[in-house]
């Protein structure tokens, strides 16, 4: 019939105060309320429309501890099997994290370029812990526990940072900050160690 039910939210860009606020936890009643269900649905559609692999409520202007995550196989088509293996990246089905708590399981820093829908058009090499554990509630208010490595661990760290008012630029290697256009033009496909070396970052 029509697609009028699909609700795409405005994604806030860096410089808006909401992106620097600590988001509020939801109590059990709030998690299961219809307006929260509708918000999660709208966040899912907004993430897919962007497209992105994660979206946190502050990015759509709400100081709530809600994040949605989904890394679809179609987003990974431009990466070679070697690049996917190097990143520890594989498809992650859609899921919802509410009131998440993250702990580092393996602090070994993994360096890859990272971007954010709220810093549209920019990217930088951002070290992230190799493995994390997350406890949270799902959209039904049920407890979930996630053990993640590789790219999924990176996504979790990025999204949960959003709920604490942090952005990837807080964790990035500043000398590697660049426009996405220049990333594609000059650096895409190069080993991260080589990129860091050329840009004057300690590559060890």
- In the bound state with Zn ion, the residue whose beta carbon lies nearer, of 69 and 116, is 116
Cβ within 8 Å of residue 87, ≥6 positions away: 79, 112, 150, 151
Which is nearest to 128 in space by CA: 101, 99, 159, 97? 159
Q: Considering the complex, what minimum distance in angstroms separates the CB of residue 167 from Zn ion?
A: 7
Q: Which residues bind Zn ion (CB under 5 A)?
A: 116
- In the bound state with Zn ion, the residue whose beta carbon lies nearer, of 116 and 134, is 116
Question: Cβ(114)–Cβ(154) under 8 Å?
Answer: yes
Burial class (CB in 10 A: 0-12, 13-18, 19+), 42: middle
70: annotated active-site residue: no
Closest CB to Zn ion: residue number: 116
What are the residues facing 135 on neighbouring strands? 101, 145
CA 28 to chain centre: 24
- In the bound state with Zn ion, the residue whose beta carbon lies nearer, of 72 and 198, is 72
Q: Considering the complex, what minimum distance in angstroms separates the CB of residue 76 from Zn ion?
A: 18
Q: Considering the complex, what minimum distance in angstroms separates the CB of residue 193 from Zn ion?
A: 25
The label of the residue with tokens 């808006």 reads: 16
- In the bound state with Zn ion, the residue whose beta carbon lies nearer, of 179 and 190, is 179
Q: Considering the complex, what minimum distance in angstroms separates the CB of residue 54 from Zn ion?
A: 7
Q: Which residues are catalytic?
A: 159
């Amino acid at each position: 019939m029509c697609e009028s039910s699909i609700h795409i939210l405005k994604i806030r860009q860096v410089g808006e105060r909401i992106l620097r606020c600590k988001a509020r936890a939801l109590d059990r009643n709030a998690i299961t309320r219809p307006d929260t269900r509708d918000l999660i649905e709208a966040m899912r559609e907004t993430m897919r429309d962007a497209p992105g692999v994660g979206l946190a409520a502050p990015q759509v202007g709400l100081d709530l501890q809600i994040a949605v995550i989904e890394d679809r196989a179609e987003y990974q088509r431009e990466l070679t099997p070697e690049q996917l293996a190097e990143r520890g990246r594989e498809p992650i089905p859609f899921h919802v994290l509410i009131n998440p708590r993250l702990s580092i399981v393996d602090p070994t820093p993994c360096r890859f370029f990272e971007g954010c829908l709220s810093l549209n058009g920019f990217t930088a090499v951002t070290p992230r812990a190799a493995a994390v554990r997350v406890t949270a509630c799902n959209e039904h208010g049920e407890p979930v526990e996630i053990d993640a490595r590789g790219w999924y661990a990176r996504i979790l760290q990025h999204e949960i940072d959003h709920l604490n008012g942090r952005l990837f630029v807080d964790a990035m290697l500043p000398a590697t900050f660049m426009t996405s256009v220049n990333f594609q033009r000059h650096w895409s496909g190069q080993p991260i160690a080589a990129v860091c070396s050329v840009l004057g970052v300690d590559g060890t």
